[in-house]
Amino acid sequence: MIATIAFVTLIGLLVLFQLFLAFGAPWGRFAWGGQHPGVLPLGYRIASGVSILIYGFIALLVLDRAGVADVFPNAFSQVGIWVVCAYLTLGVVMNAISRSTPERYAMTPVALALAILALLIALSGPAEESFAGMVLDDGDGPVFCTTIMESYPPQCGADSPTLTGWEWAAVEYEQSRMIRWGEYRFEGERQGNTERPGLSPPAKVRPQGGR
């Protein structure tokens, strides 16, 4: 979480910097190779505006990967964070070889810090989420209910994923004939629109009616 906060803070400062450039601040020597030391020409100011959008997208992706926001599918953010690492690493190189001395000395450390922080976030993996849900076993094995049909005993939707490693003896549950079910709290990660719980073991939520 510290890496995420530091990353978002730094990229937020870059957004402000590019915003000032886009509105005519005379800081051109710190950006775009220092080709225009004062106020940037219109084309470069538009490019600064585009950079703001790119930085905003990167910040959202990092927040999603860190579990602070839920914006993108897990598979997208998992690949995207490595693309961000590569993009920021390229930024380190480009700033380091800039012909502008102010840009080299001011922006290279910032780009390097962002690249390192992005790498730390990528290596840390997805953040686990805590959520509750129903587990049901109608005789074909336990499933995590993504949708629950109103009936007694309850029924799960056809897209409900099968759980492996589930032990009914370790939890309290309700039972009607051969069907067993209960609501439990899990630690896991969201994959697309499906929550696939971790089972090591789940923190138990007492189901209504008990066992």
Tokens of 47: 């490019």
Domain extents for the chain?
2-124, 129-203
What is residue 35's predicted lDDT score, i.e. its pLDDT? 87
| Angle ∠(139,163,138) on CA atoms, nearest 5 | 15
Mean pLDDT, 10 residues at a time, over the chain (211 residues)? 92 96 93 90 95 95 86 86 95 93 94 95 72 84 84 84 81 88 72 42 38 40
What is residue 188's predicted lDDT score, i.e. its pLDDT? 58
Closest CA to 166 of 135, 134, 131, 211: 135
Question: 153: cis peptide before it, omega within 30°?
Answer: yes
Instruction: Specify which residues 129 forms β-bridges with.
Output: 188
pLDDT digits (tens, 9 = 90+) for 51-77: 999 999 999 999 988 878 878 887 888
Q: Where are the alpha helices (DSSP H) in the chain?
A: 2-22, 42-65, 74-96, 101-124
What is residue 95's predicted lDDT score, i.e. its pLDDT? 92
Place of tokens 């402000």: 16
